[in-house]
């Protein structure tokens, strides 16, 4: 369903958009919903055809997904359904967030993971990310210009143990520029590091320093903890002091869709106590991600650390610069 509301109305108008079985017929199992999905036009028609007569140019659309809609970038759909509508999209976990004013307008501390050394030699699964260190350096400069105390963990310093040590003393902002992963239980059977697990909290995570060593079963690096940080590991850490986590990595919004939401990284960080998470629905380009994050943090500082406005700024900047929605529509915010 959708609710349409205009200034001066006494109450919103509810519109039935589609039935669950209609969505199931299009989505199917295991579909990747990026901007180039072959079914994206069918999905755009399903969601927005009943709403077209209610949408005006410049409107704000609040998107509160459930079920398989968690996998989908609404902006990708709008590019198909209403390319000239100039709509603002804000993704929310609940409609109540529309009227909630959450945060103070500054940020005092940040820890940035980037430029990590994954090691592993010839058996490496995860390649080094050459733009990652430059990304976190750019972010550091922007945040320090707003009087934020910033620490970069790079090379072999950004281990799983380094993350665990922030439990109960976490910074207000955590940024990860690295590899993310999510496997279904069937896919995990072919991965030695994950074989035998069927819980999505063990099948999704982030790769930190030394991650290749743990993934391939070779020697762990100096602190003995490895570098495969699963969602289950994250959920056990107290991050209640962290207002914002930014996951500049591939497919970090993916996971097992359940009636209680998406089991994976987003559930893990929420269980750990984080307020907001910026995530990705599909693969991100290392070079463009650096540009996107520079714009995001510039927008964050300029908009009094209001995350949704910063995300809108970064997307608009890349869109106006001519980038395909593939490069910016996959970033989503979970409040």
Confidence of residue 325 (pLDDT cuts 50, 70, 90): confident
Beta bridge partners of 152: 112
Confidence of residue 35 (pLDDT cuts 50, 70, 90): low
Confidence of residue 29 (pLDDT cuts 50, 70, 90): very low
Residue 166: what pLDDT? 95
Residue 37: what pLDDT? 62
| DSSP secondary structure, 275-319, as one string | SEEEEESS---HHHHHHHHHHHHHHHHHTTT-HHHHHHHHHHHHH
Q: Return the C-alpha torsion angle 257, 264, 296, 138, nearest 10.
A: -160
- The SS3 call for residue 220 is coil
Q: Is the pLDDT of residue 113 over 90?
A: yes
Question: Quick one: 33 exposed, middle or buried, by C-beta within 10 A (0-12, 13-18, 19+)?
Answer: buried
Confidence of residue 38 (pLDDT cuts 50, 70, 90): low
pTM for this model (two decimals): 0.87
* Closest alpha carbon to 295 in 248, 242, 241: 248
Residue 28: what pLDDT? 64
Tens of pLDDT, residue by residue over 239-277, are: 999 999 999 998 888 887 776 677 889 999 999 999 999
Task: Report how far apart, in Å, the C-alpha atoms of 185 and of each of 34, 190, 204, 207, 325 are.
Answer: 22, 10, 11, 19, 30
3-state helix, strand, coil in the chain (%, to 5): 35, 20, 45
Confidence of residue 36 (pLDDT cuts 50, 70, 90): low
Span 311-331, mean pLDDT? 89
Confidence of residue 115 (pLDDT cuts 50, 70, 90): very high
Dmax over CA atoms of the chain, in Å, equals 66
**Mean pLDDT, the chain, as a whole number?**
86
Residue 148: what pLDDT? 96
Residue 121: what pLDDT? 63
Percentage above 90 pLDDT, the chain: 44
Q: Is the pLDDT of residue 30 over 50?
A: no
Contacts with 13 (C-beta within 8 Å, 6 or more apart), sequence order: 3, 4, 5, 54
Residue 104: what pLDDT? 62
- The token pair at 12 is 């919103």
CA 317 – CA 64 distance, rounded (Å): 24
| DSSP secondary structure, 159-208, as one string | -HHHHHTTTTS--SEEEEESEEEE--HHHHTT-TTTTT---TTTSEEEE-
Span 82-99, mean pLDDT? 75
14 vs 213 pLDDT, higher one: 14
* Closest alpha carbon to 168 in 228, 239, 112: 239
């Amino acid at each position: 369903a959708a609710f349409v509301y205009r200034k001066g109305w006494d109450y919103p108008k509810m519109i039935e958009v589609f039935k669950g079985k209609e969505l199931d017929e299009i989505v199917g199992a295991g579909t990747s919903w990026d901007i180039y999905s072959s079914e994206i036009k069918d999905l755009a028609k399903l969601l927005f055809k009943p709403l077209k007569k209610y949408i005006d140019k410049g409107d704000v659309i609040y998107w509160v997904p459930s079920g398989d809609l968690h996998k989908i970038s609404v902006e990708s759909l709008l590019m198909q359904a209403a390319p000239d509508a100039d709509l603002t999209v804000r993704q929310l976990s609940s409609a109540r967030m529309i009227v909630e004013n959450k945060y103070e307008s500054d940020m005092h501390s940040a820890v940035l993971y980037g430029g990590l050394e994954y090691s592993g030699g010839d058996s490496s699964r995860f390649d080094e990310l050459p733009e990652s260190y430059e990304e976190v350096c750019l972010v550091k400069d922007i945040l320090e210009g707003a009087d934020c105390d910033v620490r970069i963990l790079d090379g072999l310093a950004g281990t799983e143990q380094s993350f665990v040590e922030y439990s109960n003393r976490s910074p207000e902002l955590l940024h990860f520029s690295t590899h993310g992963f999510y496997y279904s239980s069937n896919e995990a059977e072919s991965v030695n590091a994950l074989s035998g697990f069927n819980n999505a909290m063990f099948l999704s995570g982030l790769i930190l320093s030394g991650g290749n060593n743990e993934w391939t079963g070779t020697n762990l690096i100096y602190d003995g903890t490895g570098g495969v940080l699963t969602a289950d590991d994250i959920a056990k850490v107290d991050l209640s002091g962290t207002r914002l986590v930014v996951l500049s990595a591939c497919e970090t919004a993916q996971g097992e869709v359940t009636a209680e939401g998406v089991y994976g990284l987003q559930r893990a960080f929420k269980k750990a106590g984080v307020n907001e998470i910026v995530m990705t629905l599909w693969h991100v380009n290392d070079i463009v991600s650096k540009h996107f994050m520079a714009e995001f943090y510039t927008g964050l500082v300029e908009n009094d650390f209001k995350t949704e406005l910063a995300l809108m700024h970064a997307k608009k900047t890349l869109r106006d610069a001519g980038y395909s929605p593939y490069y910016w529509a996959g970033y989503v915010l979970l409040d």
